[in-house]
Amino acid sequence: MTIYDFTVRKPNGTRLPLYEFEGKPVVIINTASKCKFTPQFSDLQRLYEEYHPQGVEFIGFPCNQFGEQEPGSDEEAESFCQINYGVKFQIFGKIEVNGENAHPLFDYLKKSAPFRGFDETNINEKLLKMMIAEKNPEWLVGDSIKWNFTKFLIGKQGQVIARFEPADELDALRQQLEDQLH
């Protein structure tokens, strides 16, 4: 199984099979418009601009499961990213990433790249863990997506290469992207 086995929905409702990205590294991100991590859109857009000419795709999936930080419609989420952060990579329709209504793509991603645990020497991860413990303690267990802006790097054959948590430095993602291109 690879990501090519899944189909996703664009904000306008049309469906896109992920095999359209076959042969390209892909970065998949669950996003939100009103999150502490939302400013990552700027850095993600810069990475996209740097690596897209080399065939790398970035795709975002708005999610309202974490503190209801993506309350608008699919179109509003897409527009927010474009207007406020100049995002040019594709933003798809809102989805759930955890629980019984989680999109099968995210079930596959979580199974393929398990949660590595919190690095409590990193203050942002420690604070994130405390917030999750207070608001959604069930997400502390297992490989669930812990919060908005979890990122997955997908290789050219559609396999999951790495998972990056919201507080991870984007330099780690950059290095893994470089490895995929060489």
Phi then psi for residue 122, to 5 deg, are -95, 115
18, 32, 35, 109: which is the annotated catalytic residue? 35
Beta-bridge partner residues of 162:
153
Q: Which residues contact 160 (CB under 8 A, 6 or more apart)?
A: 3, 108, 109, 112, 113, 152, 153, 154
The answer to whether the beta carbons of residues 95 and 103 sit under 8 Å apart is yes
Catalytic residue flag (residue 35)? yes
Is the sign of the CA dihedral 174, 91, 143, 20 positive or negative? negative
Give the C-alpha separation, 71 to 34, whole Å: 9
8 Å CB contact between 174 and 47: yes
Catalytically active residues are 35
